[in-house]
Every structure is written in C-alpha cells, then in structure tokens.
Amino acid sequence: MKIRLIALAAALLAANSLFAQSGPKDIIPAPVQYEITQGTTRLPQAKDMDIRIGEKKFFSRIKGFGLEDWQVKSAYYLELTPKGLHIEAADQEGFFYAIQSAYMMNFVSPDIQCCKILDWPRFRHRGMMLDVSRNFQPKEFVMKQLDMMALLKMNRFHFHLVDHPGWRIQIDKYPLLTSFSAWRTKNDWQDWIADGQRFLDRKDPAAEGGFYTKKDIADILAYAAARHIEVIPEIEMPGHNYECIAAYPYLSCMDAEGKEHLKRVQELCPGNEQVYEFLQNVLKEVFAMFPSKYIHIGGDEAGKGNWAKCPVCQAKMKAEGLKSVEELQSYLIKRMEKFANDNGKTIIGWDEILEGGLAPNATVMSWRGTEGGHKAIADGHDVIFSPTQCYYLDYMQARDQYRAVGAYQPLKQTYSFEPIDENIAPENVHHVLGVQGNLWTEFVNEQWHAETMLYPRLFAIAETGWSQPEKKDYDAFRTRAMTWNKVLDYLGYCHYDLAPKEKDGN
Ligand code: ACM
Ligand code: ZN
C-alpha cells in the first residue's frame, strides 16, 4: 500500500527554534540504529511524504534481526532528505512511532539533520501508572500525560482508579461509590488523614474530589487508542478498600463475636460471599468499559489480622481447607482470576499475590524490588518490573525536594535499572513483558508537582522500555533529557530541573 499524505506535513506542528538544529540524537528513547546523511530539512516544507505500510520492502529491511511479531508491528523506517519524508512500516503502529520520532526532532528544532532511522521496541509493556485516588485529576490532565507518553513511545497506561482515599469511576450498581466515596473533607491527602479520613456527600458544599463518568472513561480511552496506548484499569482488592467499606459497610469483616461489621478498616472480608458478588458486579461494568485484555486487581498490602479473628473468614477457611490467612487472600485472588478469565481477561496483581499461592494465569507486577518478579518468572508467569528503588516516581529526585516520599531516587538511579539479569534464565526472558513507572500521589497534590515528579524520570523509563541495552549511556541520555526539559517548557509541561550537573547526583 502506498499513501501520499502531503496534508500530514501541515499537521506536524511548526516548532520554535529552541536549538539551531535537531537530529536523531535528540530522540528519546534512543532508536535502534540511525545514519546521518547530507543536508538539513524542515518537515512542514517537505515537498512530499512517501508513506508505505505493509510492503515487502520493509519486511526485507528488518529481516535478519530476529524480531517477534509484536516488534514488527511497532517497527519503522524513517528517512529524511532535503526533498521530503519517507516512512516504511508493517503496521499503523510503526507508522505512528515514525511520526513520533519526526515530531521529537521537530520540537527540538525545525531544522532537522537528514537521516535514516530503523527502529523497534525492546519490550512490549512500556508503562506509566497514575494514582488518581489519593489525588483526583481531571481527564484533560490525564490526556496531557498520554500525549507525552505517546511521544516517548510508551504504550500502557495503568489507571489506578480506586484506593483507600477515593473511588474514581462510575459504577451504576453501586452509586454510593461516586456520590460519597469520591468526595472528601480535604482535597490534600495528608490533611484528609489528619482530619479523620471522612467522606462527604457529593452535594455537601465542603466536598472535594471527583470521579470519571462512563463518558469520561470513553473519552480517555478514545484519546489513548488514537495514540496506540492501552489503558489498564486497576480495581484494588482485598486491601486498600476503606472507601468501599465506608459506602457499603457490609463488605468488611465481623468482630470476633460475630456481632458487628468492623468500621474504618481497609480490608474486605474474603469470607463473605457478598464481597465476591460486589467485586464481580463492579468488574462486569469495568470490563464493559475497558477493551484491554488486562485487569489489574491490586492485591497489595492487605492487612490480614482481622481475617484471623473474623468468624466469617474462619468459617470460609475451614470450609475450603485453607491453612493460613495468606491462603485466604490467594483463595480470593484465584476466584477473581477465574471470573476475569471467564470474561476473557487476564489479571495483573502486585507481587503480594505470590503469597499463599499464585493464581494460575496471573501476570505479576514486581514492585517490592525484583525478587517477586524473578520467582514468578521461574514459575512460568509474565512479569512487569516497577521496582520501588528505581521506578517509584513519588520518591525524591533531589534531597531538598518539595513534598515526596522520603527515599531518594535521582534520574541516574531510574535510568540504571536493567530488567534482564542473571536471575532470569535465557529461556524465560520472554516472560519479561516490560517496565513501568508509578506515580503515587499521597504527597503530590498540584498538577505542576505531578509533572515535576514524572519528568524527566519518565524519559529514563521510556528508554529502558524501548531502546536496546547497548544503546544506553547515561551521559548521552542526560544531555537529551536536558534538551527535552527545554522542549517541555515550550510545550507547557513542568519538570524537575536537572541543572547544574553536580546537583544531587542527577
Ligand atoms: C504499592 O506500592 N503498594 C504497590
Ligand atoms: Zn472476614
């Protein structure tokens, strides 16, 4: 197929001349290979765009590199000459990434070195997670970050929609989740905790918060799909569910006498059949909204002390022959996995889902370091690495950073993470789906602050997710990140300021 798309030239925004010249060296993530050719060119003045998708010529160009089918779909060849722009790809996805590379150079400077780029991704999951429970963000903010993800060739947006401090997605069957559990006495998470962790009716003049309607979710999904980004929703269970219990107290455990439901607790009661009915009803509506094959079911940090005392949990453990509260959590996760699988979905869970026995088809998100991921891989499961020590974007970038989780994680540390090491047998490497950065928002209230935590560290994660390991070089990357911080200013994004070089090991 040959498409001539002269109109597309006009769609490539004319950038300010932030720098005298741009070229493939400015692209983040670094391309697999490129060659500089004679002259410079300007995209909007390109006389012609020659776009070829799915032609034999491209397949012969990438032959011999041993690419997997999903890599072939994302691969592209881009050639810029004084006469114009030539793109080859196997699929629309590769064409989209070629355009992102062209955009990237154009934003740095419209005077672009003529070049030839051949490129494809290293990992299939190049993700970013945003916690909109602790701090709600309007859909426009989410879309703005999707724009940057697309430029960085990131393709998975993990939407942390529900958690202890707020439920953020319309579920018709349980209206209190959004008329009550999405609205707080205080917008700021720390203030809310200090104020007694109270929710308010949506109509209360003091109520602060928000949620996404089904229409909002559809808008976000359409926006993401146009950028080849898959949105993976997370519905937490069986911990971090304080907001569900605040709205529907029958979901919590009973006291030791079996008289009353516990109040102000985080964990659902895995002994109670009504909990399964609630979770399945919620998931049915979530599945109807999100086309992703994945559903993230959380699974992290569930305190299990109440389960050991609750007569309903104890009865369930006896009936099912479960020997520990860890096995009780595993029982819940496995039941929910079966429900998800029966509905055509694959579950992802934080690495706690390994405890008490891993659900048979689960993908594990390794966050407490990498050990959980290594164990899951050895057992034949797919894994996404988002280890706290490198990919927790709520950690400090500078020792004097404004409000952050105490641990220190400068850009260099984020960049240093290598997901494939000697702990993974060569025959199991295909179980490494990729990498993901997580922005939790306990300490991140303002939009400028969220962007400052994301950028430029997200650049580093994008590069590890896409670029070949031998292309990684921190000093060269840092130079590009400095360039891109200037582009972020131009595009209206906030970011952490990397200068001067000596500062804080960045
Ligand atoms: C997590 O940070 N609790 C997954
Ligand atoms: Zn219970």
Domains of the chain, each with CATH number or no CATH: 12-119 (3.30.379), 121-170+211-228+362-506 (3.20.20.80)
Which residues contact ligand 1 via a Cβ below 6 A?
300-301, 350, 367
* pLDDT (tens digit per residue) in 117-166: 999 999 999 999 999 999 999 999 999 999 999 999 999 999 999 999 99
Predicted pLDDT at 501: 66
Q: Would the pLDDT of 48 be above 90? A: no
Give me the sign of the Cα torsion angle 96, 101, 102, 107.
Answer: positive
How far is ligand 1, taken at its centre, from the CA of residue 301, in Å? 7
Identify the nearest ligand to the CA of 131 by its number: 1
Q: Compute the distance between CA of residue 132 and CA of residue 22 in angstroms, rounded to an integer.
A: 36
Distances (CA, A) of 222 to 229, 289, 410: 10, 11, 34
Residues labelled catalytic: 163, 240, 301
How far is ligand 2, taken at its centre, from the CA of residue 90, in Å? 53
Predicted pLDDT at 502: 61
Q: Which tokens hold the place of 63? A: 């032959």
* Cα 176 to the center of its chain, rounded Å: 27
Q: Which tokens hold the place of 439? A: 């922005």
Predicted pLDDT at 4: 37
How far is ligand 2, taken at its centre, from the CA of residue 258, in Å? 10
Predicted pLDDT at 478: 95
pLDDT band (50, 70, 90) for residue 498: confident
What percent of the chain lies above the pLDDT cut of 90? 90
Predicted pLDDT at 49: 84
Predicted pLDDT at 505: 67
* Ligand 1 atom with the shortest distance to the CA of 367: 4
* pLDDT (tens digit per residue) in 67-97: 999 999 999 999 999 988 999 999 999 999 9
Stretch 58-63: mean pLDDT: 97
Of all protein residues, whose CA lies closest to atom 1 belonging to ligand 1? 300
H or E segment and range at residue 396:
strand 395-396
pLDDT band (50, 70, 90) for residue 399: confident
Q: Would the pLDDT of 2 be above 50? A: no
How far is ligand 1, taken at its centre, from the CA of residue 472, in Å? 28
Q: Compute the distance between CA of residue 72 and CA of residue 121 in angstroms, rounded to an integer.
A: 9
Stretch 425-454: mean pLDDT: 97
Identify the nearest ligand to the CA of 299 by its number: 1
* Ligand 1 atom with the shortest distance to the CA of 440: 2
Look at residues 98, 119, 101 and name the one whose alpha carbon lies nearest to residue 53.
98
Q: What predicted TM-score, i.e. pTM, was given to this entire model?
A: 0.96
H or E segment and range at residue 246:
helix 242-247
Looking at per-residue pLDDT, the higher value among 143 and 4 belongs to 143
Contact 181, 253 (CB under 8 A): no
Identify the nearest ligand to the CA of 310 by its number: 2
Q: Are strands 294-298 and 230-237 parallel, antiparallel or unpaired?
A: parallel
* Ligand 1 atom with the shortest distance to the CA of 438: 2
Distances (CA, A) of 125 to 153, 365, 421: 11, 11, 18
Of all protein residues, whose CA lies closest to atom 2 belonging to ligand 1? 367
44-48, 210-214, 280-284: segment of lowest average pLDDT? 44-48
pLDDT band (50, 70, 90) for residue 503: low
Is the peptide bond prior to 456 cis by the omega test (within 30 degrees of 0)? Answer: yes
H or E segment and range at residue 231:
strand 230-237
Predicted pLDDT at 406: 78
